[in-house]
Every structure is written in C-alpha cells, then in structure tokens.
C-alpha cells in the first residue's frame, strides 16, 4: 500500500492541485455512494452498501490502518446518504451534478500540476486516491 500511496503522491505535489484533491476526491467518493444508494436491492439496503463492503475488503487486503480509516469514511458517506434521502432530497441528481463538478476540478488540478491523473495508468488508483486523502488528513 505504501508503494501505491507514494506513486499517487508523486503526481500530486502542487499545492493547488492538492487542495483541489482534498475537496474533490471525498466529494467524488461520496457522490458514488449517493448514486448507488438509490439502487435498491433485495436482502440488502442498496447497491451503496454492497459497494462499501467490497471497497472495504480491498482496503483490508492492503493495509489495516487505512482500511479502518476508510471504513469510517464509508460509514459517514452512507449516513449522509440516508439523511439526505430522509429529507426528501433528490440524491441521484445531487450526486450526478457534484460528481461532474468535482471531476472538472480534478482535471483542472492535474492541468495545474502538469501530470495526468494516476488512474490513467492503473484504475486501482481510483481507490488509492481516497486512501491517500484519508492518510494525509489523519497524519496531520
């Protein structure tokens, strides 16, 4: 996991790009849970719960400390989804709009950085990005 985090960090050195990522990556992660929350399934609440379990297993296979931190973040996302749904807000619409806006900012950040997003090299970095953010925030 440390090697993946170091590789991810190498394309996130610019302060402006980092600040953009500190906001956009958690927003993107949350919007995915929000969009999946509306897909109801039998026997489990919805597809967001299934995704959270699978993502948590991925992180557990990589690093226990980061896995625990990411599981806490995942639970927060799911609680936010449940809260917004109970408020009658259009979770899917909010999720799609914020997803697109956050990705636009991500690409602006990488333009400033002068490096392509890491996931162009390996899709695994779509899961490493949130872990990198969590590690950065919890280590400060």
Q: How far apart are CA 79 and CA 8, in angstroms?
A: 28
* Nearest one of 89, 90, 125, 96 to 30, comparing CA atoms: 96
Q: Does residue 88 sit within a domain?
A: yes
3-state DSSP assignment of residue 40: strand
Q: Does residue 59 sit within a domain?
A: yes
pLDDT of residue 116: 79
Q: Does residue 56 sit within a domain?
A: yes
Q: What is the mean pLDDT of residues 13-40?
A: 95
pLDDT band at 115, cuts 50/70/90?
Answer: confident
Q: How far apart are CA 44 and CA 97, in angstroms?
A: 26
Q: Does residue 116 sit within a domain?
A: yes
pLDDT at residue 138 above 90? no
pLDDT band at 140, cuts 50/70/90?
Answer: low
Domain carrying residue 47: 2-7+38-131
Mean pLDDT check: name the lowest of 7-16, 40-49, 78-87, 119-128: 119-128
Q: Does residue 117 sit within a domain?
A: yes
In the chain, the number of structural domains is 1
3-state DSSP assignment of residue 56: helix
Q: Does residue 80 sit within a domain?
A: yes
């Amino acid at each position: 996991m440390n090697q993946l985090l170091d590789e991810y960090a190498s394309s996130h050195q610019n302060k402006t790009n980092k600040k953009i990522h500190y906001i956009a990556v958690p927003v993107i992660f949350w919007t995915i849970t929000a969009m999946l929350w509306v897909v109801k399934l039998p026997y489990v609440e919805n597809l967001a719960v299934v995704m959270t379990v699978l993502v948590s297993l991925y992180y557990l296979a990589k690093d226990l400390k980061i896995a625990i931190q990411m599981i806490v973040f995942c639970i927060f996302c799911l609680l936010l989804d449940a809260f917004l749904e109970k408020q009658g807000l259009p979770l899917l619409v909010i999720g799609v709009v914020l997803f697109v806006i956050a990705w636009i900012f991500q690409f602006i950040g990488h333009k400033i950085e002068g490096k392509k997003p890491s996931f162009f090299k390996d899709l695994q970095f779509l899961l490493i990005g949130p872990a990198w953010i969590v590690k950065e925030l919890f280590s400060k």
